[in-house]
Amino acid sequence: MELSGAPADVLLQRPWLPVSISGFQLLAKIWFGDSAYHILLTDMTSVWEERMNSDAIQRRSQDLNRRLRAPVKAFFSHLCEVVRPRLSGSGEGADGEAQISLTRKEDGNIGMKLKSELAGLPFYWEFHCTPAPIALVCLQLVRPLLAMSRLLQQQVEQLGVLLVRKDAEIQDYRENGATLSRGVTTKLDLYCFSVASAARVHFIHMYLFIFY
């Protein structure tokens, strides 16, 4: 794996998108620069990555495609055109005949093989994805999920306060002789509501703890 790729903040802004390759259901986050890429894959049990710079792409292109002679930008442009749609959940790219397959290896790595056509000749590419470091997993997956969990908890708390206020308003209308057009509903038990909501958030935290 070549240690070159997207800046952390740029990759962080990319969404996780569902993809299906060779029967494997995964989430993918991808970044393609001018002549470099960074790919993250997860099955929500493990996270894998590969990052490649221009020199590494040139070497692999030549190793896999000895009959093709082209600048690295030509290889990379074709690679982006074919791979990006398939790793963004949008299905086939411009080359509808391209084939991509995925295998999980005994050493814990993931390999993806691509076969397409460039300038009338077969074009081959391989992704060699290795387990991502914990720091990257935390930055790109765990922390965003925890932030989302906290935001949801805040929204639940605000909703609970709003419902209690509405119950009080309805009770005040009744005491002042107002006739309600709808049937009487059960008054909100804020404690039970909070406990149930907290349990859901705790479940998310426990899942992240197990994943981590």
pLDDT for 82-135, tens place per residue? 999 888 876 655 556 789 999 999 999 999 999 999 888 899 999 999 999 999
Rounded to whole angstroms, the Cα distance separating 145 from 152 reads: 10
pTM listed for this prediction = 0.71
Question: How many Cα neighbours within 13 Å face the side chain of 74?
Answer: 10
47, 31 contact by CB (below 8 A)? no
Q: Name which of 1-10, 16-25, 125-134, 155-164 the model is least confident about.
A: 1-10
Q: Give, rounded to a whole angstrom, the gap between the first and last alpha carbons of the chain.
A: 22
Closest CA to 87 of 132, 146, 143, 129: 129
Average pLDDT for residues 26-55, to the nearest whole number?
Answer: 93
Instruction: With cut-offs at 50, 70 and 90, classify the pLDDT of residue 203.
Output: low
| Percent of the chain surpassing pLDDT 90 | 40
Q: Name which of 27-41, 106-120, 159-173 the model is least confident about.
A: 159-173
Q: Name which of 103-107, 164-168, 201-205 the model is least confident about.
A: 201-205
Looking at the DSSP bridge assignments, the partners of residue 111 are 103, 128
Strand ordering across the sheet containing 110-118: 17-21, 24-32, 37-42, 47-52, 121-131, 110-118, 99-104
Domains (range + CATH), the chain: 8-132 (2.170.210.10), 136-175+190-208 (no CATH)
